[in-house]
Amino acid sequence: MSTEDRRAMIVATTLPLVAEYGAAVTTSRIARAAGIGEGTIFRVFTDKDDLLQACLAEAMNPEHVLRELASIPLDDPLTDRLVQAAEALHAHLERMGTVISALHASGHHRERTSGDRPAPGGRQASMKATREALTELIEPDRAMLRLQPETIASVFLGMLFPSRPASGETGIPPRTVVDILLHGALAAPGSPA
């Protein structure tokens, strides 16, 4: 197994443990879960903090959700495609939030150094790629839309993630967001409100 493959395997094993235990997860627990010796962890990571940072980076990696968006069949009805997209995006954000919250709650407050800064445009590049993936999902229905697929993708993202719900509140279900996006908030004339 290559060093990169081993790193990826250890991170994949560690992510659910970080979600459960936060930074308190031990390298011996990680090694047992991965079926490797504890020393193997330190052959591919400089220390536990390096491993936790790799887990954080993996949780925030948009490639997973972009693959999910790309796997949505373009011949499904637009409503179904957008509901699947909303569910995939919510799952991605929930995964990120779980890992970040677990690390923060367990006292993992690493100071950033200049070498730790994300690549320029990292978040913007991720949002752009997500918007493009959504645009591709909407594109097959371009002829029946009042707005360009790119605009609808941007509005859709804004509707899905305007802000975090207040404590104790749940977000709007994906199907409701899609219904409002595609059909508006007004009842049809003559229908009960």
Between 3-17, 41-55, 108-122, the lowest mean confidence (pLDDT) is in 108-122
pLDDT of 117 strictly over 70 = no
Q: In which domain, by residue range, is 124 found?
A: 61-107+120-138+148-158
Assign residue 20 the CATH number of its domain. Answer: 1.10.10.60
Domains in the chain, number? 2
- Rounded CA separation 192/174 (Å): 23
pLDDT tens digit sequence for 56-93: 999 989 999 999 999 999 999 999 999 999 999 999 98
Retrieve residue 162's tokens: 């305007």
Q: 27 and 16: one domain?
A: yes
* pLDDT given for residue 116 in this prediction: 45
Average pLDDT of the residues in 106-129? 64
Q: 100 and 127: one domain?
A: yes
Of 33, 26, 60, 42, nearest in space to 130 by CA: 60
CA distances from 103 to 17, 58, 106, 154 (A): 11, 14, 5, 31
Q: 45 and 68: one domain?
A: no
Torsion-angle region of 22 (φ positive above 0: left; ψ -120 to 50: alpha; else: beta)? left
Assess if residue 183 is contained within a domain.
no
pLDDT of 7 strictly over 60 = yes
Q: Between 23 and 162, whose confidence is greater?
A: 23
Average pLDDT of the residues in 110-138? 72
Burial class from Cβ neighbours inside 10 Å (0-12, 13-18, 19+) for residue 153 reads buried
pLDDT of 112 strictly over 60 = no
Assess if residue 78 is contained within a domain.
yes
Q: 70 and 152: one domain?
A: yes
Instruction: Report how far apart the first and last C-alpha atoms of the chain are (Å, whole number).
Output: 62
Helix ranges (DSSP H) in the chain = 3-21, 27-34, 38-44, 48-60, 63-70, 78-105, 122-138, 149-160, 174-183
